[in-house]
């Protein structure tokens, strides 16, 4: 894929909305994936990856089914191709509603557990495309970066592609990084992804990225800079691009799978392990038509609001908001069912804890209504949700609290449940029926319900999800500081200053 026209896709070549079969086939592309010291020949059959691939293939098939087709797909006006609503560029309030419904369905169908589903990654390209003209302002004799973005967007929407994204530098020595106070101590290029050479076909890049969720399961890899890493010493480290996940020279290292065990306890959510990966680039070619930014971070800084400015356009909105909402409702419903199943729901303390969980669900729902209410057209004519800058920070802290509440409500039952083989064993079963049943529920129901709670709040899957919720939007402290710096307090501060100028009302008690 090195020709400059490779991404220019004619409507007749478009594949349209992804299907399960096409998705699975697309992953057999020679990508270089490693896990536990071994290279994986075919990710679609490997036990660490195949369940998640199957879960995604199922959703892709459902989006084409009679039942969901009208809600999850649409006809792209320019090409007439039917494709995913995740890639729809919103131009009206009705489009935003449509995107909301699509995101709700993606999350209902994946239990709100996929932080980096295709529906969540598509908006990254849509957000960049919104600033197409800014990307075009950075000039290079080989290409127009804004045009590249537009062509890439068309390539993605017409083939309904699944992207991963990788923004951060490897966690080697944070004290020496250029974005820190002691700027420039470390050579950016020791570990950071950087340009080593320009060729007629594109740039050659080398370096690492930490990390990239769903890299194993993706078709394309979008690489860029985060708010933390946008300001660099060395312009060679300033780049944004997208390449096929199977690009030669790109090595993907997957972490230990979560929620897997050799026994038969079963993990209801284990098919949703989306994997997190290190990316190692060793002289990887990035073709000119796949580059969106090079040497000058201005458009990305603008996009991220990294300069302390406010990001008023919220194209990432629905996918994350709907996911968080579903996850909160799931946690609350499981905790409520657990409280019922062991007869503690009437206790004041337990009911109050459940009430706290419901409060979070409701506050989030109100916030969703708020960003929808504040939606409107951007200067480029696309419709954006209203700003939701504090929301991901709030969710990062609330998510951990919900996990804590779940554990407090479950008591020891969250870890002490029989396995499927225990249940099937007649010698044990008489004890299980007697000593491990719940209030008005049999042992089988109770153990499966508690295992769901375990997967959400105690298993390695649950812990990974909790870690994800805390970190995935970037360092919450950095985000709090950026929000604080851009938060307009002038009006109330002026009012306070006026008050401070007034004489104090001494001793005048009426």
Ligand X SMILES: Cc1cc2nc3c(=O)[nH]c(=O)nc-3n(C[C@H](O)[C@H](O)[C@H](O)COP(=O)(O)OP(=O)(O)OC[C@H]3O[C@@H](n4cnc5c(N)ncnc54)[C@H](O)[C@@H]3O)c2cc1C
- Residues at the contact surface with ligand X, assessed by CB under 6 A: 116, 165-168, 171, 174, 180, 210-213, 276, 464, 467-468, 471-472, 474-475, 477
Contact 279, 221 (CB under 8 A): yes
The minimum distance between CB 470 and ligand X, in angstroms, equals: 7
Contact 417, 438 (CB under 8 A): no
Query: Residue 212: which of 169, 259, 270 has the closest Cα?
Result: 169
Q: How far apart are CA 103 and CA 86, in angstroms?
A: 8
Q: Is 8 left (phi over 0), alpha (psi -120 to 50) or beta?
A: beta
The minimum distance between CB 205 and ligand X, in angstroms, equals: 16
What would the two tokens of residue 218 be? 């993706």
Q: How far apart are CA 35 and CA 252, in angstroms?
A: 9
The minimum distance between CB 453 and ligand X, in angstroms, equals: 21
| Cis check: omega of the bond before 456, within 30 degrees of 0 | no
Q: How far apart are CA 183 and CA 176, in angstroms?
A: 8
Nearer to ligand X, 152 or 468 (CB): 468
Nearer to ligand X, 216 or 371 (CB): 216
Query: Residue 194: which of 62, 283, 303 has the closest Cα?
Result: 283
Nearer to ligand X, 214 or 334 (CB): 214
Nearer to ligand X, 8 or 485 (CB): 485
Nearer to ligand X, 471 or 487 (CB): 471
The minimum distance between CB 448 and ligand X, in angstroms, equals: 26
The minimum distance between CB 497 and ligand X, in angstroms, equals: 32
- Bridge partners (DSSP) of residue 75 are 82
Q: How far apart are CA 206 and CA 223, in angstroms?
A: 12
Contact 330, 111 (CB under 8 A): yes
The minimum distance between CB 98 and ligand X, in angstroms, equals: 26
Nearer to ligand X, 9 or 214 (CB): 214
Nearer to ligand X, 192 or 213 (CB): 213
Q: How far apart are CA 280 and CA 208, in angstroms?
A: 5
Nearer to ligand X, 360 or 468 (CB): 468
The minimum distance between CB 476 and ligand X, in angstroms, equals: 8
Nearer to ligand X, 252 or 350 (CB): 252
Contact 450, 338 (CB under 8 A): yes
What would the two tokens of residue 282 be? 């060793």
The minimum distance between CB 300 and ligand X, in angstroms, equals: 13
Residues 31-47 as b/e (b if ≥16 CB within 10 A, e otherwise) read bbbbbeeeebeebbebe
The minimum distance between CB 436 and ligand X, in angstroms, equals: 33
């Amino acid at each position: 894929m090195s020709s400059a026209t490779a991404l220019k896709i004619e409507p007749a070549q478009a594949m349209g909305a992804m299907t399960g079969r096409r998705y699975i086939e697309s992953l057999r592309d020679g990508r270089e994936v490693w896990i536990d010291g071994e290279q994986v020949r075919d990710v679609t059959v490997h036990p660490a990856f195949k369940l998640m691939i199957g879960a995604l293939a199922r959703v892709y098939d459902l989006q084409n089914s009679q039942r969901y087709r009208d809600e999850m797909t649409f006809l792209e006006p320019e090409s007439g191709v039917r494709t995913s609503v995740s890639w729809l560029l919103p131009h009206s309030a009705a489009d935003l509603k449509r995107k909301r419904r699509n995101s709700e369905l993606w999350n209902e169908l994946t239990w709100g557990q996929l932080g980096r589903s295709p529906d969540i990654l598509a908006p990254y390209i849509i957000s960049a495309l919104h600033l197409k003209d800014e990307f075009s302002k950075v000039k290079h004799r080989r290409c127009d970066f804004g045009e590249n973005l537009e062509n890439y967007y068309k390539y993605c929407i017409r083939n309904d592609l699944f992207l991963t994204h990788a923004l951060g530098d490897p966690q080697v020595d944070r004290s020496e990084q250029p974005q820190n106070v002691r700027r420039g101590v470390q050579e950016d290029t020791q570990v950071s992804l950087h340009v080593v050479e320009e060729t007629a076909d594109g740039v050659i890049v080398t370096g690492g990225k930490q990390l990239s969720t769903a890299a194993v399961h993706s078709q394309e890899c979008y690489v860029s800079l985060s708010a933390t890493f946008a300001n660099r010493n060395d312009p060679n480290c300033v780049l944004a691009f997208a390449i096929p996940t199977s690009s030669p020279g790109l090595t993907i290292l997957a972490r230990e799978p979560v929620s897997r065990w050799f026994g038969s306890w079963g993990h209801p959510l284990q098919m949703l392990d989306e994997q997190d990966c290190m990316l190692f680039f060793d002289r990887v070619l990035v073709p000119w038509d796949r580059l969106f930014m090079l040497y000058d971070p201005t458009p990305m800084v603008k996009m991220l609001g990294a300069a302390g400015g406010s990001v008023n356009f919220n194209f990432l909105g629905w996918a994350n908001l709907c996911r968080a909402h579903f996850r909160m409702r799931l946690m609350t419903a499981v905790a409520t069912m657990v409280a019922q199943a062991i007869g503690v729901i009437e206790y004041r303390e337990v009911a109050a804890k459940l009430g706290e969980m419901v409060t979070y669900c409701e506050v989030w729902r109100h916030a969703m209504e708020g960003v929808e209410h504040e939606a409107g057209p951007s200067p480029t004519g696309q419709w954006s949700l209203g700003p939701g800058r504090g929301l991901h920070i709030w969710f990062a802290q609330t998510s951990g609290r919900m996990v804590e509440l779940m554990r407090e409500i479950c008591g020891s039952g969250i870890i002490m449940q029989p396995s499927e083989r225990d249940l099937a064993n007649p010698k044990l079963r008489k004890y299980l029926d007697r000593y491990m049943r719940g209030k008005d529920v049999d042992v089988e129901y109770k153990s499966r319900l508690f295992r769901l709670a375990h997967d959400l709040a105690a298993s390695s899957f649950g812990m990974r999800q909790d870690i994800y919720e805390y970190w995935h939007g970037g360092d919450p402290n950095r985000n709090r500081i950026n929000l604080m710096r851009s938060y307009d307090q002038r009006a109330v501060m002026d009012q306070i200053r006026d008050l401070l100028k007034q004489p104090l009302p001494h001793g005048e008690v009426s």
